[in-house]
Amino acid sequence: MGERVAIIGIGQTDHRYIRPDINHEEMINEAVREALEDADLTIRDIDTVIIDNMDLFEGHYLSDTMVVDGAGMYLKPGLKINTGGTSGATAVATGWHHVASGVFDTALVIGWQKQDAAPSIAALVTAREPLYDRDMAAGAVGIFAGMGLSYMQESGCQEEHAALARVIMADNARRNPHAHLKPDLTVEDVLNSRVLVWPVRLLHMSPTSCGACALILANEKRAKKAAKPPVWIKDLETAHREQSVFRGGCVEPKPAISAIEVASSRLYKRNGITKPARDIDVWELYTPSSWALFPWMELFSICEKGQAWRLVEKEAIRIEGEIPIEPSGGVVSTNPIGASGVIRVAEAALQLRGEAGEHQVTKKAETAIASAWGAASWIVVFYLSRNL
Amino acid sequence: MARRVGIVGVAQTKYEKKPAMHLQDLSFEPVDKVLQETGLKFTEDGTGIDATISCSQDHWDGWTISSKNVVDGAGGHLRPEEKVAEDGAYALYYAALSILGGHYDCILVVAHTKESQVDGRLIENAGLEPLFLRMLGLDFTSCAALQATQYMQRYGISPSQCAKVVVKNRGNAMYNPYAQAPEIVTVDAVLGSPILSDPIRLLDAKPVSDGACALILAAEDKAKKWTESPVWIEGLGCCYDRHYPGYRDLTDPLSLREAAKRAYGMAGISDPRGNIDLVELSEYYSYQELLWSEGLGFCERGDGGRLLESGATQIGGDTPINPSGGLLSGVPVNVAGLNRAVEAVTQLRGEAGKRQVDGARTAVVHGTGGVCGQMHCVIILRRGL
């Protein structure tokens, strides 16, 4: 195998609905400067830059080429990744391969989206196959409605449980200074918010955020000299799913073949993780809707099928709980799309460093799973550890 | 490099306008061909292809998350697939690094674009910075015209020297069965063609085209087992320059020189013209072949025109450039850089038929992206012994 890879620098902007004060390049620069400062490095220490952004959402073709100065890419090697909701995580994976190759000692990975500049949902409609699927003009909400409906039917979960999951994420977000939505919610508030596509209500969906997140990755030699304790990316796995039978989940073959289940079980097997709820201390999944949390927990084998809502009901997923999930508040609180996947890895790494501040999980965190989800149920999963 | 990476199979479609072809069919055609050629399958036990890296652009496909239309046919179902949203050369670059890192042993790379379905000028306009440049209505051709003008004026490059690039490349394309525009053109025909943006004329620019290509690369031990004629990736480099054309010396392809320096350094190339037998570079416009040949170190700055007129860059010359016919014979954007690799591999294997460069052993592959060649990727390929 190649070089071992660690996270040695973490930076992110505060994520907001609009950032009229700055342009996209300046926003990226905020995150990059913070990551360099965190790692006590300068841009001269960076060997290559990997950047990701959903450029059709942004309305920019080759959006990386416009942010070269702010991103610190001038006269550096690098490239842009774009894989949908998973983009940020794919970019981290790309940075990981770059450092593992031995060609680069360090890599700067940047994810960003500035959704106050362009209507991303209009672009998201074009994610559907043009001849058969696109007429549905569907964004993301319907997917989670189908998910929530079938989950309720199969498991006995009620609307109240999804509302409680949303409340917990809001509680977490209020303790995270970078998070976007930080409402003080009750279960009733969620249940009274307007229906988008039942059972998905307004408060169940992620916001459109502006923000950027940057990570500095390094090989073992550099990581051991790093200013902050390195967090090792021990392994990763990615899986996509065939998209043409997708149809928004309407004709989902039963039993559903899930890329999440396939990818996470491969990753667990390679790394000797036999009981994820015990072996993994903290989870930063990627839940664009609170309804996604239940199937995700089960597909990641955190619990048995049909049992996730019971863990939520027991509030085991809270920051103080046995199985802390989305301590940052998650994607449902903060969603600058191209950055969201990078943020998952960054937040998991902060937890393992013990530097998550008010949203630091109570239990001792040695290992974490971070992931991102998107497109036709695509997934990237990372296994992070404090120990090499 | 930790271990060698070899290319074990290549395939491409014919390049032409393909109005009846669905994007999924377009990308599947070369994938199917390269799978048949190599006999490899998508496997999980290390006996075949481990992962896929695709290259396409949401804007050109009119389809956000454009790799969605590739995954079905390119082995993405419940398997790894990652999309590089740059020129195809970057997809090959990233695939090679992924194998060097040891996580994968064998990767399928596929790139596609259907240029004919959209007005590319609108997309290129969206490729310019939104506050100060975009509303001027510029596209990559009008910006390239500024670069061409500066370059020609500073170094005395003449329109007929640029036209001779077209004559050479379109002539080479006569022997390339995949080329869109195999046609003997004359200098007069180029100089008499309509102006797109002075000094760039219709025949100076790459024609609109649709197509796809694919290749499979593998770690050394597997590459040797799977093919008798592996082509090794000996060096790679890429580099970004600034965005605003006004911030750059457009006559100096700085990021190309940096990318080439990295790739040459890795491959141990000290004398590019002496060490390299064959060049496949990305000339979206005729002047770019001259400018890029300077950036790649085949001649001094400003000598690109003289290099061409010396005959050195013809098939049979000492540094043949674009024996395939290059982009001017009609290769779509994004596919461009990966197609350069596919053509170079075909040459290094000695399978290029009438366009074959005799005894070619070492080749340079070049891809570029952004306005006026803002970013460049250079990959050195060498025939196995």
Contact B2 A2 (CB under 8 A): yes
Tell me whether residues A55 and B78 touch, CB distance under 8 A: no
CB contact under 8 A, B82 and A83: yes
Which residue matches tokens 């500073």?
B154
Nearest Cβ partner for A74 among B67, B81, B242: B242
A83 three-state secondary structure: coil
The residue of chain B nearest to residue A240, with distances taken between CA atoms, is B78
B343 min Cα distance to partner chain A (Å): 23
Q: What is the largest CA-CA distance in chain B?
A: 59
Instruction: Specify the DSSP element, H or E, that contains A285.
Output: none
Q: What angle is formed at CA A46 by the lines to CA A40 and CA A49, rounded to 5 degrees? A: 125
> In this structure, what token pair is assigned to residue B223?
């590459």
Predicted pLDDT at B1: 62
CB contact under 8 A, A237 and B85: no
CA distance A67 to chain B (A): 8
Best mutation target among B63, B97, B234, B261 (most A Cβ atoms within 10 Å) is: B97
Q: Do B78 and A76 touch (CB under 8 A)?
A: no
A220 Cα to chain B: minimum distance (Å):
14
Nearest CA in chain A to B56: A82
CA neighbours within 13 Å on the CB side: how many for A75?
A: 8
Distance between CA atoms of residues B323 and B175, nearest Å: 9
- Give me the residues of chain B with pLDDT under 50, please: none
Place of tokens 């016919």: B325
- Whole-number pLDDT of residue A243: 66
What's the pLDDT at A253? 44
In total, the C-beta contacts within 8 angstroms joining chain A to chain B are 195
Q: Are B82 and A73 inside 8 Å of each other by CB?
A: no
Pick from A24, A73, A83, A373 the residue to mutate for testing the B interface (most B CBs within 10 Å): A83
Alpha-carbon A219 to chain mean position: 23
Chain A contact set for B242 (CB, 8 A): 68-69, 74
How far is A237 from chain B, CA to nearest CA, in Å? 7
Q: Which residues of B119-134 are buried (b: 16+ CB within 10 A; e: fewer)?
A: ebeebbbbbbbbeebb
Q: How far apart are CA A243 and CA A146, in angstroms?
A: 16
How large is the angle between the packed helices A87-100 and A337-353, nearest 10 degrees? 60
Query: B21: which 2 tokens?
Result: 């072809």
* CA–CA gap between residue B385 and residue B380 (Å, rounded): 16
Length of chain A: 388
pLDDT given for residue B2 in this prediction: 67
Q: Which residues of A touch B81 (CB under 8 A)?
A: 83, 238, 240
Residue of A nearest to B87 (CA): A79
Distances (CA, A) of B210 to B54, B59, B107, B161, B179: 16, 15, 24, 28, 11
Contacting residues of A for B69, CB less than 8 Å apart = 129, 243
Tokens of B156: 């005395």
CA atoms within 13 A on the CB side of B329: 29
Give the whole-angstrom CA distance, residue A239 versus residue A300. Answer: 13
Question: In what helix (H) or strand (E) does residue A9 lie, and over which residues does it extend?
Answer: strand A5-12
Residue B68: the pLDDT is 87
pLDDT value, residue A121:
82
Among B65, B78, B238, beta carbon nearest to A127: B65
Taking the CA atoms of residue A314, residue A386, residue B96 and residue B362 in that order, the dihedral angle to the nearest 10 degrees is 170
Asked if A242 and B240 come within 8 Å (Cβ–Cβ), the reply is no
A102, B76: Cβ pair inside 8 Å?
no
Residue B361 near residue A53 (C-beta atoms within 8 A): no
Query: Is the Cβ pair B71, A243 closer than 8 Å?
Result: yes
Q: A43-60: b or e for each residue (b if 16 or more CB lie within 10 Å)?
A: eebbbbbbbbbbbbbbbb
Of B64, B76, B240, the CB nearest to A123: B64
* Tens of pLDDT, residues B310-330: 999 999 999 999 999 999 999
Residue from A3, A76, A101 whose CB has the most chain B CBs within 10 Å, to mutate: A101
* Bridge partners, residue B10, by sequence: B215
What SS3 string covers chain B?
A: CCCCEEEEEEEECCCECCCCCCHHHHHHHHHHHHHHHHCCCECCCCCCECEEEEECCHHHHCCCCCCHHHHCCCCCECCCEEEECCCHHHHHHHHHHHHHCCCCCEEEEEEEEEHHHCCHHHHHHCCCCCCCCHHHCCCHHHHHHHHHHHHHHHHCCCHHHHHHHHHHHHHHHCCCCCCCCCCCCCHHHHHCCCEEECCEEHHHECCCCEEEEEEEEEEHHHHHHHCCCCEEEEEEEEEECCCCHHHCCCCCCHHHHHHHHHHHHHHCCCCHHHHCCEEECCCCEHHHHHHHHHHCCCCCCCCHHHHHHCCCCCCCCCCCECCCCCHHHCCCCCHHHHHHHHHHHHHHCCCCHHHCCCCCCEEEEEEEECCCCCEEEEEEEEECC
Measured in angstroms, the CA of B60 and the nearest CA of chain A are apart by 9
Interchain contact, A129 vs B262, CB within 8 Å: no
Contact flag B72-A79 (C-beta cutoff 8 Å):
no
| CA distance linking residue A236 with residue A267, whole number of Å | 7
- Burial environment of residue A195 by CB neighbours within 10 A (0 to 12, 13 to 18, 19 or more): exposed
For residue B34, which of B220, B175, B212 has the smallest C-alpha distance? Answer: B212
Closest residue of chain B to A265, computed from CA coordinates: B78
Contact A2 B101 (CB under 8 A): yes
Task: Tell me how many degrees the CA angle A75-A79-A85 measures, rounded to the nearest 5.
Answer: 145
CA nearest neighbour of A208 among A342, A84, A118, A329: A118
Taking the CA of residue A155 and the nearest CA in chain B, the distance in Å comes to 25
Say how many residues make up chain B.
385
pLDDT in tens for each of the 388 residues of chain A?
A: 699 999 999 999 999 999 999 999 999 999 999 999 999 999 999 999 999 999 999 999 999 999 999 999 999 999 999 999 999 999 999 999 999 999 999 999 999 999 998 888 888 888 888 887 787 767 788 888 988 998 999 999 999 999 999 999 999 999 999 999 999 999 999 999 999 999 999 999 999 999 999 999 999 999 999 999 999 999 999 999 876 544 444 444 444 568 999 999 999 999 999 999 999 999 999 999 999 999 999 999 999 999 999 999 999 999 999 999 999 999 999 999 999 999 999 999 999 999 999 999 999 999 999 999 988 788 999 999 999 9
Residue A376: both structure tokens together: 């036709």
Nearest CA-CA distance, residue B283 and chain A, Å? 18
- Which residue is listed with tokens 């093919």? B227
Candidates A66, A132, A219, A237: best to mutate against B (most CBs of B within 10 A) is A66
Chain-chain contact of B85 with A126 (C-beta, under 8 angstroms)? no
Cα distances from B290 to residues A205, B22, B159, in angstroms, run 53, 36, 12
**The pLDDT value given to residue B385:** 66
- Smallest CA–CA distance, residue A327 to chain B, in Å, is 28
* CB < 8 Å to A374, chain B: 65
Look at B83 and A83 and tell me if their CB atoms are within 8 Å: yes
Query: Which residues in B lie closer than 8 A to residue A117 (C-beta atoms)?
Result: 130
**Tokens representing B139?**
């596209």
Contact A75 B240 (CB under 8 A): yes
Burial degree of B266 (CB within 10 A; 0-12, 13-18, 19+) = middle
C-alpha distance from residue B157 to each of A372, B134, B160, B189 (Å): 51, 29, 8, 19
Which of B122, B240, B243, B372 is best to mutate for the A interface (most A CBs within 10 A)? B240
Quote ipTM for the complex.
0.97
Read off the DSSP letter of residue A349.
H
Q: Which of B64, B81, B127 shows the shortest C-beta gap to A124? A: B64
Measure in Å the smallest separation between the Cα of B162 and chain A Cα atoms.
27
CB spacing of B63 vs A23 below 8 angstroms: no
Distance CA A374, CA B137 (A): 34
Interface-testing mutation among A120, A124, A240, with chain B (most B C-beta atoms within 10 A): A240
